[in-house]
Amino acid sequence: MRAIDETHDPQLTSWVSSANRAGCDFPIQNLPFTVFRRSGSAEPLRCGVGIGAAILDLTALGAASATDDTVAQAIAACAQPSLNALMALGAPAWLALRRWLSKVLRTGAGESGRLAAALVRQSAAQFAVPARIGDYTDFYTSIHHAIAVGRLFRPDQPLLPNYKWVPIAYHGRASSIVVSGVGVHRPRGQLMPRGAECPRVGPSERLDYEIELGVFIGRGNRLGEPIPIERAEEHVFGLCLLNDWSARDLQAWEYQPLGPFLAKNFATTLSPWVVTLEALAPFRAPWRRVAQDPSPLPYLDCPELRDAGAAEIELEVALETAAMRARGLAPQRLSRSDFRDSYWSIAQMVAHHTINGCNLAPGDLLGTGTQSGPRPEQAGSLLELTAAGARPLVLSSAEQRAFLADGDRVILRGACQRAGFVRIGFGEATGLVLPPA
């Protein structure tokens, strides 16, 4: 597990004044990574670090900016159109770069004059998916989501017997992962109308979101060599927000016997910011289960997990309809949940994924699955919030929503807060629902 050090000092401030504003997502204690170019330019994509309302262009700095060889190597790895090379260097390089960035960006740093020329306003940037994602696996780590969905479809057995033993997952589609701000077309597929004898093909009428966290793999493992759970987080670079768009009517017809397919593979939206595990160190918490639940099998358990394997990350979903935009109404928050309530941890996801010898690579993405809390208002999808459409939500615009309509914009947010430390945020992951292509 990453340790708390001087980079988390709540007294630190930055010469980038916007990083010192109350409620800022990207104070100097955060330093999330991103990939971007200046809007309207033809310049290559480049790696950067969020600081306040700006991005520090790491490509513009050059490796000569650092005197330490490890930091120089890390900056050189950032001279790429993705974060993969930096991810592949491993935790020692990530930590060295973070400490260097903290020093040169803090108030009074002698490098402020030179580095100021490498700042780009976030509002003037065009973002990209942060890494070349070779493989994408989506887990099902929230027991509250699993039970709520199970009750809708299997009232007599809402939670299947393997759930408390196995971190359930399925392999998703990497090619349709898009960055925040990219529109998502309503998918088409086979639908089985209630009472019909044969399916029809048409656009989904039950389009939904799922709020998740994305887990980016850093250093990979060789084929045939499992990652032990006590070393699992050494292979994790950081986290982002993830919207696993879901066509519930396509899903209901196709998911047996092999699980999700067209209902999920048409789009997955990521936030452009990757918050490192180093930044999350102050917000770790003991991993625990209720006493009557089974203890995990040995390959999914270790003292480090029980001491600090969980993370307190507050998650929020908001909805902005076309009518809200036309009337100048603010987006309406639909739910709030916390990753602290997840049944399975990040380390357990990595350990289970590789127990059979599966090889992970830098830039691979793991989704946590929908993050729902124990209370109904903490549900992470419309499927749960509306009881599969039976109880539509009434919005501030007087509209109703059972599922998403064309023109709806879904907004995901995340943040960590704890007394004695500075709040850090994850930015936003937004997606506008477009009509079928």
**Domains of the chain: residue spans and CATH:** 6-127 (2.30.30.230), 136-434 (3.90.850.10)
d(CA 258, CA 105): 50
Q: Which residue has 């940037």 as its token pair?
A: 125
Where helices occur in 232-364 by DSSP H, the ranges are 248-254, 303-308, 322-327, 346-354
Question: What is the share, in percent, of the chain residues with pLDDT greater than 70?
Answer: 100
For residues 398-418, average pLDDT: 98
Q: Which helix or strand (DSSP H or E) is residue 89 part of?
A: helix 84-89
Task: Specify whether 352 is catalytic.
Answer: no
Task: Please tell me whether residue 115 adopts helix, strand or coil conformation.
Answer: helix
Structure tokens at 377: 């208002």
User: pLDDT digit string (tens) for 264-307?
Assistant: 999 999 999 999 999 999 999 999 999 999 999 999 999 999 99
**64: pLDDT strictly greater than 80:** no
Close Cβ partners of 119 (under 8 Å, ≥ 6 residues apart): 16, 51, 54, 55, 56, 57
Residue among 173, 83, 88, 89 nearest 127 (CA): 83
Average pLDDT, the chain: 97
Where helices occur in 293-408 by DSSP H, the ranges are 303-308, 322-327, 346-354, 382-385
Residue among 354, 319, 350 nearest 335 (CA): 319
For residues 79-92, average pLDDT: 97
**Active-site residue identified among 145, 235, 352, 353:** 145
Close Cβ partners of 19 (under 8 Å, ≥ 6 residues apart): 13, 26, 27, 28, 51, 52, 53, 54, 105
120, 45 Cβ separation under 8 angstroms: no
Predicted confidence band of residue 66 (pLDDT cuts 50, 70, 90): confident
Q: What is the pTM of this model?
A: 0.97
Task: Please tell me whether residue 56 adopts helix, strand or coil conformation.
Answer: strand
Residue 126: φ, ψ to 5°: -110, 125
Sign of the dihedral through C-alpha 302, 303, 306, 312: negative
